[in-house]
Each structure stands twice: as structure tokens, then as C-alpha cells.
Amino acid sequence: DAKTTQPTSMDCAEGRAANLPCNHSTISGNEYVYWYRQIHSQGPQYIIHGLKNNETNEMASLIITEDRKSSTLILPHATLRDTAVYYCIVRVAAAGNKLTFGGGTRVLVKP
């Protein structure tokens, strides 16, 4: 699986957009970018995933650069409940579909 690099932590103001970067410079052509988050020892929660096109759902938007070497997760209007550790993961189909979690980004949304 391709390795990802994320900032260790970041703060965000409530009501503002939170932009979470992820570098995955060794990503392969058939690997998807997935984002999960974990709120205080709860089970990881799926947010969004994409291959090369930008994606949007009710939780977030995912922007993937044209060369696919990096991506940004955007939480459009951060709330206090978005405080969590956010994990950027790329997946290899041949690896039994496991998820390989790195350290993630600890996001603190402040009032």
C-alpha cells in the first residue's frame, strides 16, 4: 500500500472550512484515496473516497490533484463535533482489502 503523509495536528475555527492535506506521492494508478475519521476512541467513521475526480458528499469534499500525488479533504463548515483524528488511506486491491492507518491528523475545532 502507498504511504501517506499528513500533518500531525491542526486547529480550525468553528464555522470555517477545514482543509486537511494528504501527500501520497507513490500512489499507484489503481489505488483509491480514502478518508476516515475517529472521534475519541469511537470506531473509525468512513467519510469519502475517490480515484482521480473530485468527490463530494454530505460530509465533505475530496480534491485530488491531477497527478494524484496529493489530496485535500474539505469540511465545509466545521463544527465542534468534527474534532477528531482524520486518516488518509490509499488502498491496494490485492492486499485483502485491509485498511492501513497511519498517524492521521488530529483536528481540533475551536469555538
Partner 1 sequence: DSGVTQTPKHLITATGQRVTLRCSPRSGDLSVYWYQQSLDQGLQFLIHYYNGEERAKGNILERFSAQQFPDLHSELNLSSLELGDSALYFCASSVDIGLYLTDTQYFGPGTRLTVL
Cα–Cα distance for residue pair 65/52, rounded to 1 Å: 8
Q: In sequence order, what are the residues at sequence separation of 6 or more whose Cβ sits closer than 8 angstroms to the Cβ of residue 43? A: none
- Examine residue 59 and tell whether it contacts partner 1 (CB under 8 A): no
Among 13, 17, 93, 108, binds partner 1 (CB under 8 A): 93
- Examine residue 29 and tell whether it contacts partner 1 (CB under 8 A): no
- Examine residue 45 and tell whether it contacts partner 1 (CB under 8 A): yes
- Examine residue 39 and tell whether it contacts partner 1 (CB under 8 A): no
**CB of residue 13 to partner 1, shortest distance in Å:** 28
How crowded is residue 103: how many other Cβ atoms within 10 Å of its Cβ?
13
- Examine residue 5 and tell whether it contacts partner 1 (CB under 8 A): no
Among 8, 81, 96, 111, binds partner 1 (CB under 8 A): 96
Among 9, 102, 108, 110, binds partner 1 (CB under 8 A): 102
Strand (E) or helix (H) holding 90:
strand 84-91
Tell me, rounded to whole angstroms, the distance of Cα 39 from its chain centroid: 14
CA angle (62, 67, 69) in 5-degree steps:
65
Which residues of this protein are in contact with partner 1, per CB under 8 A? 30-32, 34, 38, 41-46, 49, 51, 87, 91, 93-103
